[in-house]
Amino acid sequence: MKDIHSHILFDIDDGSCSIDESLEILKQAVSNNYTDIILTPHYRKRQNYVANNKVKLERFDELLNEIKKEKLKVNLYLGNEITVDEDLIYYLDTKQVVSLNSSRYILLELPFTSKLDCLEDLFDELFDRGMIPIIPHPERYTGYKIEDYKRWIERGVLFQGNIETLYNGYGEKSKKILTEMLKCHMIHFMGSDIHKASHGTYDRNIKEKLEEILQDKKMVLELTDKNIECVIKNKEIKPYKVLEEKKRFKIFNR
The predicted structure's pLDDT at residue 6: 98
The predicted structure's pLDDT at residue 249: 52
Which pLDDT tens digits describe the chain residue by residue (254 residues)? 999 999 999 999 999 999 999 999 999 999 999 999 999 999 998 778 887 888 999 999 999 999 999 999 999 999 999 999 999 999 999 999 999 999 999 999 999 999 999 999 999 999 999 999 999 999 999 999 989 999 999 999 999 999 999 999 999 999 999 999 999 999 999 999 999 999 999 999 999 999 999 999 999 999 999 999 999 999 999 888 888 755 555 545 44
The predicted structure's pLDDT at residue 250: 54
The predicted structure's pLDDT at residue 254: 44
Collect all residues with Cβ–Cβ distance below 8 Å to 164 and sequence separation of at least 6: 170, 192, 193, 199, 201, 204
The predicted structure's pLDDT at residue 94: 93
Q: How far is CA 236 from CA 130, 136, 198, 228, in A?
A: 11, 18, 35, 11
Collect all residues with Cβ–Cβ distance below 8 Å to 215 and sequence separation of at least 6: none
pTM of the predicted protein model: 0.94
The predicted structure's pLDDT at residue 47: 76
